[in-house]
A = this chain, B = another copy of it.
Amino acid sequence: SFDAAHTNTNASIDAFFLLYASTLIFFMQTGFAMVCAGCVRLKNVQNTLLKNVLDACAVSLGFYSLGYAFAFGTNNNNNNNSDKTTTFIGNGNYFLIGVEDDSFWLFQFVFCATSGTIVAGALAERCQMTAYLAYSLFLSSFVYPVVVHAIWSDYGFLSPRNSNPLWGSGMIDFAGSCVVHVTGGATALIASKVLGPRTGRFHDAHGNLLENPKEMPGHSLALQCLGTLILWFGWYGFNCGSIITLTIDDHYKVISHTAINLTLSGATGCIMTLIASTIAAERSTGETSYYLPYALNGCLSGLVAITAGCSIVEHWASIVIGLTSGALYLVFSKLLLKWKIDDAVDAIPVHLINGIWGTICVGLFAAPDLMSNVYNSSADHPGWFYSWGMGSADARLLACQLVGILFVIAWVLCTMFPFFWLLHYFGYLRADALEEYIGLDVAYRGGIFEAKDNEEDEETKK
C-alpha cells in the first residue's frame, strides 16, 4: 500500500514535470514566430507568421501519424524486450495506438515541432506556402524521427542506452544540440541553398554582383527581442525537461544544474557576440556601434551550444561554451554572406554551427561525476579533457560525437536535398519573382495588411 501510494505520487510528479516542460517548449513556437516576424520586412510579416503557425500544426499531424512510430515505436511483443538490439527505425504505435506514456509522447512532439520551426526563418520572404507545408510533414514524419531513433531511443545505433553502445560509449546529446538543432539547421542550409537568396540580396537588377550584400533589415527589433527572450524562457523547459523522469536517482539535482548552465552559456554567448561585433565595427568604421540583433543571436547561439551537454558539464565549462559559441556565430554569419547564402534570421550559424559545436563540446567537457548522475553506463568514457587529466586520453566519447554529427548531416542531406530539389524542379518551392518583389503578403492577400490602418488615417485627414 505504501509502495502503491508512493509510486502513484512519483508518477504524478513526473507527469506534471513533463507537462510543465512541454508547455514551456511549446511556447518556443511563439518565440520563433516573433523572431521571424521581427526579422522580415513588413511586406512579408503575414506570410512568415503563417508558416510558423502552420508548422506547429502540421508537425502535430506528422508526428501523431508516423513520426513517433518511427522514432520510438515498438510492437507489443517487443515491448518488454530487455535485449536492446539496434534498429534503424522504429515500428509500431502508429497514431498513438498502444502508447502507454502520453506525457513522453507530448514531450517528444514539442521537440519535433521545435526542430521543424528552425527552418521557417531561413526561408522567409521567398518560399511558397505549399512547399513549406510539405516540408513540415516530411520532416516530422520521417527525417527527424530517424535521427531521434538513432540517438535517443534504446534501440538506436548511437544511443548510450543501447545494450551494445558504439565503442562502448555511445553518443551523448542530452537535450538535442545535434538531434534538434543540427537536424533543423542542416535542413535550413540545404533549403536555403536550393531556394537561392532573396532577389536583390547579392545581385542588382541586372544580375551584377553587388560589392556588399544589400542589407534587408527586419521591420521590428522589439518583436525580435521579444521572440528571443521567449525562446530563452522556453529553453529552461527544453533542457531541464530532458531528464524525463524527475523522481528517480538524484535527478532533482540535475535540473537546477542544467538551468544554471543554460543561463551562463546564453549570457556569455550574448556578451561575447556584442563585444566582438562592437570591436570589429570600431576597427572598420572608427565608430562605436552596438547592434542588438547580433547580441540576440549570440545569446541563442550560447543556448544551442549548451543544449547537448547542459546536464553533464561543469558551470565553468558552460561559460567557455557560451563564449566560443558567440564567436563562432559571428564568424559564420559573415562567412555565409561571403558564400552568398541568404538566411533572414541567421538560423544556420545559430542552429547548425553551434549545434555541431555543442555536440563536440560534450566530447571535450563532459565531467565523469556529472555523467554518472545522468548516464549511469557512460561514465567510463568522459570528455576528452577529463580523460586527458586522468592520463588516459580516452577519446571514445569525442569520436562518438563526431560520428553522430556526420550521421545526422549525411542523413539530412540524403533525404532533404532530393526533396527540396524535386520541389524546386517542379516549381513548387520558390515564390515567383513578381510576388517576391511586391511582398508575399501583397501577392497572396492583396495588400500590406499591417499598414492599412495608417492609410485609412491619412484618408481621414483629408
A residues sitting closer than 8 Å to B (CB atoms) are 2, 5-6, 8-20, 22-24, 26-27, 29-30, 33-34, 37, 41-43, 45-47, 49-50, 52-54, 56-58, 60-61, 64, 95-96, 101-103, 105-106, 109, 129, 217-223, 225-226, 228-230, 232-233, 236-237, 240, 246-247, 251-253, 255-257, 259-260, 263-264, 266-268, 270-271, 274, 288-292, 295-296, 299, 315-316, 438, 444-446, 448-454, 456-457, 460
Contact = CB atoms under 8 A, between A and B. Distances in A.
6 contacts: A19-B259, A26-B236, A33-B226, A43-B457, A49-B292, A219-B453
A96 B260 CA distance: 10
Given A9-B10, A222-B223, A450-B220, A268 B57 contact: yes
B24 A23 contact: yes
Given A247-B8, A263-B109, A444-B290, A49 B225 contact: yes
Contacts of A266: 57
B19 A292 contact: no
Contacts of A102: 253, 256-257, 259-260
Nearest 4 pairs of A and B residues by beta carbon: A102-B256, A57-B267, A103-B256, A15-B252
Contacts of A449: 217, 221
Main SS at interface, chain A: helix
Nearest to A22: B259
Given A105-B256, A106-B259, A246 B42 contact: no
Contacts of A50: 274, 290, 292, 295
A305 to B, nearest CB: 15
B253 A53 contact: no
A255 B15 contact: yes
Contacts of A460: 438
A221 B46 contact: yes
A41 B256 contact: no
Contacts of A456: 41
A2 to B, nearest CB: 6
A220 B247 CA distance: 45
Nearest to A445: B289
A316 B22 CA distance: 21
B16 A246 contact: yes
Contacts of A289: 444-446
Nearest to A222: B37
Given A33-B225, A290-B445, 13 more contacts: A6-B9, A9-B10, A13-B16, A16-B255, A19-B255, A46-B290, A49-B225, A50-B290, A54-B274, A57-B271, A60-B264, A109-B260, A289-B444
A23 B237 contact: yes
B54 A271 contact: yes
A401 to B, nearest CB: 25
B225 A64 contact: no
Contacts of A24: 23
B288 A444 contact: yes
A20 B20 contact: yes
Nearest to A102: B256
Nearest to A215: B452
A445 to B, nearest CB: 5
A289 B20 CA distance: 37
Contact of A270 (B54, B247, B457): B54
A291 to B, nearest CB: 7
Given A46-B221, A50-B292, A217-B449, A251 B29 contact: no
A448 B452 contact: no
